[in-house]
């Protein structure tokens, strides 16, 4: 617990204080560094590697790691290091889009549920319970079998099964906040609902929602990789980590590197999000 | 408590009803004409039409749903397009493989996760605890099919110690069980550690120590009883994530369970099978969750249900 009363500080030093508080937590520092590593790999991919991630070189297939190909090459002679680095772009795209979709749909549903109460609440929560009853992968398979394989449809499927997580969380937060005296006071002073929602409820829910989205991000990476691994998500030759591992299945005993490195990249990314989320939750819990 | 159980049990049919509607609508929205699929690609138009009447697809949607629900309640989930056998037979032949794998994975997860979590709590913030914490967070972050591929590469292909695919002998169980157990093991270890830390700081533990009870007896008798809650939570309330893990694990190891059946049926657009497996899996998950919620209520009278 930090004893400094941050309300007396200027906005700038307040945010500086916030950053130093956050970084003092080892989980946030380590998890944040891992996530940052993945972000940098995605952003700087062309500077990190000069190999084209989809260019084939049929004379140099299934090579072991070497000075030229740090992670070796796959069955089409493509550079695995380059595919792993460019794969970070696909993974971060999947995560940010999927988390954004589920938040944009889930949070309003939760707030409506919490504010409206009674029948509306029961109806929304019933639908959320139904979606939540499906094991994520099973729901995703059902949706992908209707819409067809591919990145977009996989993202729809994955986003759908995180919606109940945000809806339930923001409903609980709304229920906790809506009877607070300052919100009742604002209401009596004639502040309208849209403003109460944005200025009072959302602003006070941001912390827990960020923690939840960080923890969900790790799960999204794993689900997307699993679906692509099963051939239901991103299709070859795109350098998606799950798709690459699915390819590596055919070369067990011949070349494990095709599967080894994409899996390691998944581990680093998911570990980063999970450790970061744990750290953020610890810090937020103290504050709440 | 009683009211809580009654409320939970009553909500069950409503959830299953909703799930069946989602599955029903999803399957009707599938691309392609199911009557054409059933009749075969070369069947004449009259055969397709009569198939449509036979399947009841010429009826209005609500009526189709009522029929579908009535049939499903009687255990009739239609015929597989691929094998032409009843979907229920396909599922009941494969279910034992999935359930035995799930049971073994849970046993392994409990057998390692509980002692690991206890070790972490007893040696709080010392080296054994730090090792346990690092392993649990890594276990929760690993892609289980990656672990499966590495294990297959070393233990089956290179060393030849274990069979690669299938379910022919007890040796076939080893790799899929370990793969499937990693996630629940990590979660059980983590929850056991934190619930035991809560308990160890309670007054009655201090009293027990003051009475002169040995720490081994305190750890096992008083503290471990509370470890039952994390076990029930993971085993019953996270059954869905185990089923999800089984879908992937079974596909990697060519395991003849319902998870692989589901993935294969997507590949062949075998819609009655997709529909059947989804319904059975979700019903199982919902029932397990209900049992879990009731058990946790019994185990922990401190939880209030209102």
Which residues of B are less than 8 Å from A138 in CB distance?
243-244, 247, 262, 277-278, 281-282
Give B12→chain A minimum CA distance, Å.
10
- The nearest CA of chain A is from the CA of B157 a distance in Å of 6
pTM > 0.80: yes
What DSSP assignment string belongs to chain A? -----GGGS-HHHHHHHHHHHHHHSHHHHHHHHHHHHHHHHHHTHHHH--S-TT---TTS-SPPP-SSSTT-B-TT--BHHHHHHHHHHHHHHHHHHHHHHHHHHHHHHHHHHHHH-HHHHHHHHHHHHHHHHS-HHHHHHHHHHHH-SSHHHHHHHHHHHHHHHHHHHHHHHHHHHHT-HHHHHHHHTT--HHHIIIIIIIHHHHHHHHHHHHHHHHHHHHHHHHHHHTTSSSPTTS--HHHHHHHHGGGTTT-THHHHHHHHHHHHHHHHHHHHHHHHHHHHHHH-
Quote the ipTM score: 0.86
Give residue B224's pLDDT: 67
Chain A residue with CA closest to B289: the answer is A133
Q: What is the pLDDT of residue A22?
A: 81
Q: Assess A260–B contact: CB distance below 8 Å, yes or no.
A: yes
pLDDT given at position B252: 92
pLDDT of residue B222: 66
Residue A111: both structure tokens together: 């707030």
* Rounded Cα gap, residues A8 and A3, in angstroms: 12
* pLDDT given at position B260: 93
CB spacing of A135 vs B146 below 8 angstroms: no
Contact A130 B145 (CB under 8 A): no
Q: Answer whether B240 sits within 8 Å of A231, measured CB to CB.
A: no
Determine the pLDDT at residue A69: 78
The tens place of each residue's pLDDT in chain B, 306 residues long, gives: 677 788 888 888 889 999 999 888 888 777 667 777 777 777 888 888 887 887 777 788 888 888 888 888 888 888 888 888 999 999 999 999 999 999 999 999 999 999 999 899 888 889 999 999 999 999 999 999 999 999 988 888 888 788 888 878 888 888 999 999 999 999 999 988 888 888 777 777 777 777 877 777 777 766 666 667 778 888 888 888 899 999 999 999 999 999 999 999 988 888 889 989 999 999 999 999 898 888 887 777 665 544
Q: What is the pLDDT of residue A1?
A: 42
Task: Please answer yes or no on whether A142 and B240 come within 8 Å at the CB atom.
Answer: no
Q: What is the pLDDT of residue A7?
A: 61
Tokens of B133: 């914490």
Cβ separation B153–A253 shorter than 8 A: yes
Residue-level pLDDT at A285: 67
For A139, the closest chain B residue by CA position comes to B278
d(CA A48, CA A38): 12
Give me the total of CB pairs closer than 8 Å, taking one residue from chain A and one from chain B: 140
Taking Cα atoms as reference points, which of B61, B56, B62 lies closest to residue B76?
B56
Instruction: Name every chain B residue with its beta carbon within 8 A of the beta carbon of A135.
Output: 240-241, 243-244, 247, 281-282, 285
Asked if A135 and B138 come within 8 Å (Cβ–Cβ), the reply is no
pLDDT for B32 equals 67
Successive 10-residue mean pLDDT values, chain A, 288 residues? 58 78 87 95 86 81 82 84 91 94 96 90 93 90 86 92 93 88 83 84 88 92 93 88 89 85 95 93 69
């Amino acid at each position: 617990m930090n004893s400094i009363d941050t309300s007396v500080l200027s906005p700038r030093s307040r945010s500086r204080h916030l950053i130093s508080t956050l970084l003092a937590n080892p989980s946030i520092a380590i998890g944040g560094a891992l996530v940052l590593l993945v972000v940098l790999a995605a952003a700087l991919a062309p500077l990190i590697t000069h190999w084209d991630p989809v260019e084939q070189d049929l004379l140099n297939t299934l090579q072991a790691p070497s000075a030229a190909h740090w992670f070796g090459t796959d069955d089409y002679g493509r550079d695995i290091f380059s595919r792993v680095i460019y794969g970070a772009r696909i993974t971060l795209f999947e995560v940010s889009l999927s988390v954004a979709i589920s938040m944009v749909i889930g949070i309003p549903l939760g707030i409506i549920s919490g504010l409206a109460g009674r029948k509306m609440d029961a109806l929304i929560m019933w639908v959320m319970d139904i979606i939540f009853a499906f094991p994520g992968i099973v729901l995703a398979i059902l949706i992908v079998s209707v819409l067809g394989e591919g990145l977009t449809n996989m993202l729809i499927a994955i986003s759908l099964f995180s919606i109940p997580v945000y809806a339930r969380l923001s409903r609980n937060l709304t229920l906790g906040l809506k009877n607070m005296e300052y919100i009742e006071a604002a209401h009596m002073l004639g502040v309208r609902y849209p403003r109460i929602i944005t200025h009072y409820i959302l602003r006070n829910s941001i912390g827990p929602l960020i923690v939840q989205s960080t923890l969900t991000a790790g799960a999204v990476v794993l689900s997307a990789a699993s679906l692509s691994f099963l051939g239901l998500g991103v299709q070859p030759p795109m350098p998606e980590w799950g798709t690459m591992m699915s390819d590596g299945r055919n070369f067990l005993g011949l070349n494990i590197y095709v599967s080894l490195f994409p899996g390691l990249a998944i581990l680093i990314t998911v570990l980063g999000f999970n450790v970061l989320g744990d750290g953020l939750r610890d810090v937020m819990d103290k504050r709440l | 408590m009683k009211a809580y159980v009654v409320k939970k049990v009553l909500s069950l049919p409503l959830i299953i009803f909703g799930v069946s509607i989602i599955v029903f609508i999803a399957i009707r929205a599938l691309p392609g004409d199911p009557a054409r699929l059933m009749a075969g690609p070369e069947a004449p138009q009259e055969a397709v039409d009569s198939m449509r009447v036979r399947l009841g697809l010429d009826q209005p949607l609500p009526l189709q749903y009522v029929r579908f629900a009535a049939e499903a309640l009687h255990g009739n989930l239609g015929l597989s397009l691929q094998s032409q056998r009843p979907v229920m037979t396909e599922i009941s032949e494969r279910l034992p493989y999935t359930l035995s794998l799930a049971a073994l994975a849970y046993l392994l997860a409990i057998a390692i996760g509980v002692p690991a979590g206890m070790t972490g709590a007893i040696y709080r913030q010392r080296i054994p605890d730090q090792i346990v914490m690092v392993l649990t967070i890594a276990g929760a972050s690993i892609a289980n099919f990656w672990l499966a591929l590495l294990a297959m590469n070393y233990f089956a292909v290179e060393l030849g110690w274990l069979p690669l695919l299938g379910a022919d002998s007890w040796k076939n169980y080893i790799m899929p069980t370990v793969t499937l157990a990693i996630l629940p093991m990590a979660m059980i270890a983590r929850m056991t550690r934190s619930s035991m830390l809560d308990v160890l700081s309670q007054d009655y533990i201090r009293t027990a120590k003051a009475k002169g009870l040995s720490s081994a007896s305190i750890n096992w008798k008083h503290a471990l009883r509370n470890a039952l809650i994390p076990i029930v939570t993971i085993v019953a309330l996270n059954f869905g994530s185990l089923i999800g893990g089984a879908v992937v694990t079974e596909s990697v190891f060519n395991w003849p369970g319902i998870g692989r059946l589901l993935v294969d049926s997507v590949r062949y657009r075998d819609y009655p099978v997709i529909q059947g497996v989804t319904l059975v899996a979700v019903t199982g998950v919902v029932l397990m969750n209900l049992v879990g919620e009731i058990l946790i209520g019994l185990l922990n009278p401190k939880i209030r249900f209102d």
